[in-house]
Chain A
């Protein structure tokens, strides 16, 4: 036989490769059930320095939320509980006095004082610092609509330090659930040392939360260890030996890791696994979530103005959409048809908003409504639905919605794709879009008000459709000034009833939580942000 040596060589190479594959096996033994176990969770590489006011994306947010503690925190069902604050009080819902509980420290040993908060917020709202989450300060007196300090400068005029443990917050207008905002990361405190070298701080932040950031390895992982300075009676004590956030570029890879038991918690099952994950060898979670999806129809569109004709046409379109069919067929039940403008996760949520039957599919009713509108004025416009093609699943559902509208109303509706989210938003923001478009909202804090005021209030920051209704403005204003929860929820339901009639945006569904945890992992619960409460997870 010719070439024996060479064949042998090739054979050796093959065997070598094979044995390397074999040698790579092993490792990964089971760890016992213990409170010392370190929990691993899915995350992505943070995009910005880890300064709370500069963290507006999930990767950084996951870390910041665990290493800082705010004045309040949220319970699993979205209720607001005092955390660093001893009390947050107001007589008129406009000027709030905050008293800080004694005994709180940053992990560098310095105490958490009134200045820790006020200085951090002043830093965050100062336009010179270009903080990405400055927007969240917009309710406070002395800031402009985008949250930065009015006319520049380095102090928000609505904040005043009274003494070491007390400060006051003056708002632009009464807001009864304002304390609910204060658990959001933009409102976290900063230690004095942060301002000496904010750049160094962004790489190695020092917080007052249940965990300390032990190490941040770019593109690999962030290792968090339980903090020694976090009070034992805090709301969110670490119940495990630490949390390691592993950074992935693709949830598919993370899902494979969960399947093999290499990753404990994945809060976002990839679309490729959505149909099968509940049958895989993992713990599957499927719940309603807080972000919603809506179709905003600007009142400037011909035929869709703020009059009877417009209302009828909007209602007709809403009734022509079969939400159940789309959430089942396209999203495999991972989205839940909307019954209101907020989410079932919000405190005070009710399915019984007056007039919300307009969100139910009814072919005959839709055609009837459209006919009624045509009797007022003939429809010579067009219905185009714009979306961004870079969002997963957007094209599918937009085309399905457009098809449903055409099947029911036969108005030649059409989808229009924009390549990126940025481009769609640019056209929406400068009002040059000239069509209906997809919108969505992720609340800043667990509150129905947050789904209404900033989006549908006259001239509000995210009022993309330029909706304006004095009655709605007034109701929402009264809700903001309400003295107790009951009254507030009632007023919010009233405000939503107005929206059901006007339909400035058509609610479609809420994004559900589709999550996975490895077998043997316990106490996985999801909060109002659809994120797992990692400090409670054990295995």
Chain B
């Protein structure tokens, strides 16, 4: 298994190189002069402009800028933002809250989605199943910000049950509603995936065999149906953590959570390449790690899968 992990880690290198190159190129190609924007509408002296350009490598050709940035990353130096703060510091500020939020959303959608999906699958065609079908349709069809504002208005402003805005030091209490909002859509997908999977597995040969052997309903459902049904769901959940983090920007905006979505957005507006690419690099790393974790989980769920 270690050999497998090592090989996957090596495969990550070209992925990282390619993605940073692409993003850096996009930021570089973005029109506009970041130095002029920095000074608002006021005139800038040429000497100051040259100094700043030199400081942020803006005066060098694109490839050189990118290589310099890569060189920095190797020494864990992600560059300096236009504000003078190191990008690592900005990331250290913004990443934890987004991670907390995404993990909470992931747990919520996984627990509720699998539970509801499993039950709906077992009771196929019954009232619970059809109710969940409608609920998931509604959830998928309505944009996330509608839920965000609605829940904020109802639970925060009108009822006053939960804090309205979270902030960067937000804990469990502040992040609960944002996490529910963020996890809602994925909850619907997890629910449907689980349900379909359960329905399929209920008709599978090995389940019929188990029943014929006289294994109790409970054990059949738990050991043979649920466990096998979890494989596609696990794939989805693994990839979803990254999606949740990257897609959190809308939820983060509504609940005032200054996470990495907001960091990237502001940096794009300022044309601050080093920050944008650093955020993306972190996201790519998270995707790579999560997909590795998912692959390893397969082995745990399905004994037929072995990594050598």
A 243-266 binary contact with B (CB < 8 Å = 1; else 0): 000111110111011011010000
- Return the chain A residue nearest B161 by Cβ: A25
A 145-156 binary contact with B (CB < 8 Å = 1; else 0): 111100010000
Interface residue total, chain A, C-beta cutoff 8 A:
68
**Known interface pairs A25-B162, A257-B164. Does A420 touch B42 (Cβ–Cβ under 8 Å)?**
no
Return the contact of B152 from the options A6, A133, A247, A256 (Cβ within 8 A).
A256
| Contact across chains for B161 and A249 when beta carbons are under 8 A apart | no
Task: Determine which residue in B32, B111, B149 has the highest number of CB atoms from chain A within 10 A of its CB, and name it.
Answer: B32
Inside 8 A of B30's CB, which chain A residues have their CB?
420
Q: Does B262 sit within 8 A of A, measured CB to CB?
A: yes
Q: How far apart are B111's CB and chain A's nearest CB, in angstroms?
A: 6
Inside 8 A of B52's CB, which chain A residues have their CB?
130
| Contact across chains for A45 and B258 when beta carbons are under 8 A apart | yes
| Contact across chains for B48 and A262 when beta carbons are under 8 A apart | no
**Known interface pairs A6-B115, A45-B258, A253-B256. Does A425 touch B31 (Cβ–Cβ under 8 Å)?**
no
Inside 8 A of A5's CB, which chain B residues have their CB?
218
- Return the chain A residue nearest B216 by Cβ: A2
Q: How far apart are A325's CB and chain B's nearest CB, in angstroms?
A: 28
| Contact across chains for A10 and B115 when beta carbons are under 8 A apart | yes
| Contact across chains for A127 and B122 when beta carbons are under 8 A apart | no
| Contact across chains for B271 and A422 when beta carbons are under 8 A apart | yes
A 407-441 binary contact with B (CB < 8 Å = 1; else 0): 00000000000111111011001000000000000
**Known interface pairs A146-B45, A420-B32, A422-B32. Does A132 touch B167 (Cβ–Cβ under 8 Å)?**
no
| Contact across chains for B115 and A13 when beta carbons are under 8 A apart | yes
**B63-85 interface with A by 8 A CB criterion:** 82-84
**Known interface pairs A250-B254, A419-B31. Does A135 touch B160 (Cβ–Cβ under 8 Å)?**
no
A68–B255 Cα gap in the complex (Å)?
32
Task: Determine which residue in A2, A22, A249, A429 has the highest number of CB atoms from chain B within 10 A of its CB, and name it.
Answer: A249
Q: Does B112 sit within 8 A of A, measured CB to CB?
A: yes
Return the contact of A256 from the options B164, B167, B271 (Cβ within 8 A).
B164
Return the contact of A390 from the options B40, B43, B111, B269 (Cβ within 8 A).
B269
Q: Does A279 sit within 8 A of B, measured CB to CB?
A: no
| Contact across chains for A56 and B39 when beta carbons are under 8 A apart | yes
**Known interface pairs A20-B176, A48-B83. Does A220 touch B155 (Cβ–Cβ under 8 Å)?**
no
A218–B217 Cα gap in the complex (Å)?
55
A 513-526 binary contact with B (CB < 8 Å = 1; else 0): 00000000000000
Q: Does A28 sit within 8 A of B, measured CB to CB?
A: yes
Q: Does B205 sit within 8 A of A, measured CB to CB?
A: no
Q: Does B34 sit within 8 A of A, measured CB to CB?
A: yes
Return the contact of A262 from the options B40, B159, B164 (Cβ within 8 A).
B164
**A254-303 interface with B by 8 A CB criterion:** 254, 256-257, 259-260, 262
- Return the chain A residue nearest B52 by Cβ: A130
Return the contact of B44 from the options A146, A199, A221 (Cβ within 8 A).
A146
A217–B168 Cα gap in the complex (Å)?
9
**B210-224 interface with A by 8 A CB criterion:** 217-218, 221-222
| Contact across chains for B116 and A10 when beta carbons are under 8 A apart | yes
| Contact across chains for B168 and A127 when beta carbons are under 8 A apart | no
Q: Does B9 sit within 8 A of A, measured CB to CB?
A: no
**Known interface pairs A56-B40, A128-B51, A419-B31. Does A256 touch B165 (Cβ–Cβ under 8 Å)?**
yes
Q: Does A470 sit within 8 A of B, measured CB to CB?
A: no
Return the contact of B36 from the options A256, A257, A418, A426 (Cβ within 8 A).
A426
| Contact across chains for A2 and B255 when beta carbons are under 8 A apart | no
Q: Does B157 sit within 8 A of A, measured CB to CB?
A: yes
B 143-170 binary contact with A (CB < 8 Å = 1; else 0): 0000001001101110111111101110
Inside 8 A of B157's CB, which chain A residues have their CB?
256, 259-260
A135–B43 Cα gap in the complex (Å)?
7
Inside 8 A of B33's CB, which chain A residues have their CB?
422-423, 425-426
Q: Does B173 sit within 8 A of A, measured CB to CB?
A: yes
| Contact across chains for B119 and A260 when beta carbons are under 8 A apart | no
| Contact across chains for A28 and B160 when beta carbons are under 8 A apart | yes
A28–B111 Cα gap in the complex (Å)?
32
Inside 8 A of B172's CB, which chain A residues have their CB?
20
Q: Does A377 sit within 8 A of B, measured CB to CB?
A: no
Q: Does B94 sit within 8 A of A, measured CB to CB?
A: yes
Task: Determine which residue in A23, A57, A152, A260 has the highest number of CB atoms from chain B within 10 A of its CB, and name it.
Answer: A260
| Contact across chains for B43 and A218 when beta carbons are under 8 A apart | no
Q: How far apart are A519's CB and chain B's nearest CB, in angstroms?
A: 13
- Return the chain B residue nearest A250 by Cβ: B253
Return the contact of B47 from the options A45, A127, A199, A247 (Cβ within 8 A).
A127
**Known interface pairs A146-B44, A256-B156, A422-B36. Does A220 touch B169 (Cβ–Cβ under 8 Å)?**
yes
Inside 8 A of B39's CB, which chain A residues have their CB?
56, 132, 135
| Contact across chains for B269 and A219 when beta carbons are under 8 A apart | no
Q: How far apart are B86's CB and chain A's nearest CB, in angstroms?
A: 12
A20–B252 Cα gap in the complex (Å)?
21
**Known interface pairs A25-B159, A252-B254. Does A219 touch B93 (Cβ–Cβ under 8 Å)?**
yes
A134–B38 Cα gap in the complex (Å)?
13
**Known interface pairs A3-B122, A260-B157. Does A218 touch B51 (Cβ–Cβ under 8 Å)?**
no
**Known interface pairs A2-B122, A421-B37, A425-B33. Does A144 touch B165 (Cβ–Cβ under 8 Å)?**
no
Inside 8 A of B222's CB, which chain A residues have their CB?
6
| Contact across chains for A253 and B255 when beta carbons are under 8 A apart | yes
**B8-41 interface with A by 8 A CB criterion:** 30-34, 36-41
Q: How far apart are B106's CB and chain A's nearest CB, in angstroms?
A: 15
Inside 8 A of B254's CB, which chain A residues have their CB?
250, 252-253
Q: Does B118 sit within 8 A of A, measured CB to CB?
A: yes
**Known interface pairs A252-B254, A422-B33, A429-B36. Does A145 touch B164 (Cβ–Cβ under 8 Å)?**
no
Return the contact of A48 from the options B42, B84, B255 (Cβ within 8 A).
B84
Inside 8 A of A217's CB, which chain B residues have their CB?
168-169
- Return the chain A residue nearest B180 by Cβ: A17
Inside 8 A of B159's CB, which chain A residues have their CB?
25
Inside 8 A of A257's CB, which chain B residues have their CB?
164-165, 256
A152–B38 Cα gap in the complex (Å)?
21
B 255-281 binary contact with A (CB < 8 Å = 1; else 0): 111100010000001010000000000
| Contact across chains for B45 and A13 when beta carbons are under 8 A apart | no
- Return the chain A residue nearest B82 by Cβ: A47
Residues of B whose CB lies within 8 Å of any CB of A are 30-34, 36-45, 47-48, 51-52, 82-84, 93-94, 108, 111-112, 115-116, 118-119, 122, 149, 152-153, 155-157, 159-165, 167-169, 172-173, 176-177, 180, 217-218, 221-222, 252-258, 262, 269, 271
Residues of A whose CB lies within 8 Å of any CB of B are 2-3, 5-7, 9-10, 13-14, 17, 20-25, 28, 45, 47-49, 56-57, 127-128, 130, 132-135, 144-148, 152, 199, 202, 217-221, 246-250, 252-254, 256-257, 259-260, 262, 390, 418-423, 425-426, 429, 461-462
A144-B45, A146-B42 provided; 12 other pairs, C-beta below 8 A?
Answer: A10-B115, A21-B176, A127-B51, A135-B42, A147-B43, A148-B48, A219-B168, A220-B167, A419-B31, A422-B34, A425-B33, A461-B42
| 29 contacting pairs across A/B (C-beta < 8 A) | A6-B119, A17-B112, A17-B180, A20-B173, A22-B161, A24-B176, A25-B162, A45-B258, A56-B39, A56-B40, A127-B47, A130-B52, A132-B39, A135-B44, A146-B44, A146-B45, A218-B93, A220-B168, A247-B258, A252-B254, A256-B153, A256-B156, A256-B164, A256-B165, A419-B31, A422-B33, A422-B34, A426-B31, A426-B33
